[in-house]
Amino acid sequence: MTQDEKIARWRLILGKESDEALGGFCGGSAVPLDKKQSLIDDTLSAIYGKNDDTLSKGRGRGNGPSSPVISKWLGNLRTLFDNDTVVVVQNDAIERKGLKQLLMEPELLENLAPDMSMASVFLELKNQIPEKSKESARLYIKKIVDKINELLSTQIQSAVVSALNKKSHSPLPSASAIDFKYTIARNLKNFSTDLGTIIPEHVWFYDRSAKTSKWNIILDVDQSGSMGDSIIFSSIMACILATMSSVKTNIVAFDTEIMDLTDLTSDPVDLLFGFQMGGGTDIRKSLEYCQTLVTDPLHTLFFLISDLDEYGSRAGLVEKIRELKESGVTVIVLLAIEDGGRAYYDKATAAAVAGLSVPCFACPPERLPELLAAALRKDDLTGFAKTGQEK
């Protein structure tokens, strides 16, 4: 890398304000940038420049920047940077420039990179989205749902099947019912040193028809404004489980009121738009409702998904969890996860719940299938709890 290239790179890092200081190294008053570097500089300065008003130019009615200006800026952003960088800058645009107009114009939504944080903003502002943009908003949410569904669907189905039918095998092939552990063990003799892999002569499948008591999985989801990511993953998990005949699934949303959203589990996008994010939190009230859904406690798996920031009675909340546990229900509290994967929650309430020997931790999305299988097998979840608390 030449000296001029190094100076140009520093100029892009430090922004337009560094032009005069760095220009002296180039024998002039400004650092020369090529066409691509100038475009990068303009695109980033629109968000991070101290006195840049690029996104304020061409204003239409009201105080917001015009759609063509934002649309062009988004197009440049996606052309110049990888998807991870695009997502970071998009979110900074929302925070620094107040560009909630991004969510209101259908032509702009088409340029937004799919992102969980942005999806959470959509859900919070869904009642403010104009009619002309609602279909584009649904399509944007669907992109994210499809991506997560692709990641989790087969794993969750396989986890449930393997947990409920641990011993019985079937000659009927099913990708989601493969008993990988047994199949690998029985085919170790067929390891090919040339290929470095096992070539199975036979694959064993769990018997989907094995007689087991049908489990009821209840997801009780806090819909306060801080729970966006958790709501998205909970909804997708509920919709995946709802397609399985071996379990019965209920999903309940709550703030200070209760909404049973189970009838919406045929479509994860419909389910997500059924949530009403924001408001207070009455966890005890939701637990009281969920108790009415329990018909066979010994075959009921109950997830409370919340940051445990209780507006109602903390003592009442803890007592309801005690009642569920003592009735035989398998109770797990999944804590909210903030950016960076750290758990955040009301520590006093979490300590009171943990004092009941109820697992209380945050679980990264990629471990949900593993957690589900372990819970259905009634395994010790101490390992999850140790890695799922705030560090």
In a structure prediction context, what are the per-residue pLDDT tens digits for the chain, which is 391 residues long?
677 778 778 777 887 777 767 766 666 667 778 888 888 888 888 888 876 666 655 444 344 444 556 667 777 887 888 878 888 887 787 777 766 666 666 766 777 777 777 787 777 767 767 787 888 888 888 888 888 888 788 888 888 877 776 555 555 566 666 777 778 887 888 888 888 888 888 886 765 554 445 789 999 999 986 787 888 889 999 998 888 877 899 999 998 899 999 999 999 989 998 998 777 789 999 999 999 999 999 999 999 999 998 988 899 999 999 999 999 999 999 998 765 567 879 999 999 999 999 999 998 888 888 888 899 888 888 777 666 554 3
Specify the 3-state DSSP secondary structure of 259. strand
> Which residue, chain included where needed, has tokens 């066409």?
35
Nearest Cα to 353, choosing from 344, 343, 345? 345
Helix ranges, the chain (H):
3-14, 19-23, 35-48, 67-80, 83-97, 106-109, 116-124, 131-164, 180-186, 228-242, 268-274, 283-291, 314-326, 347-354, 368-376, 382-388
Cα gap 272→137, rounded to integer Å: 12
Domain residue ranges in the chain: 3-139, 166-206, 215-388
Q: What is the pTM of this model?
A: 0.67
Which CATH number fits the domain 215-388, given the four candidates 1.10.579.10, 3.40.50.410, 2.40.50.140, 1.10.390.10?
Answer: 3.40.50.410
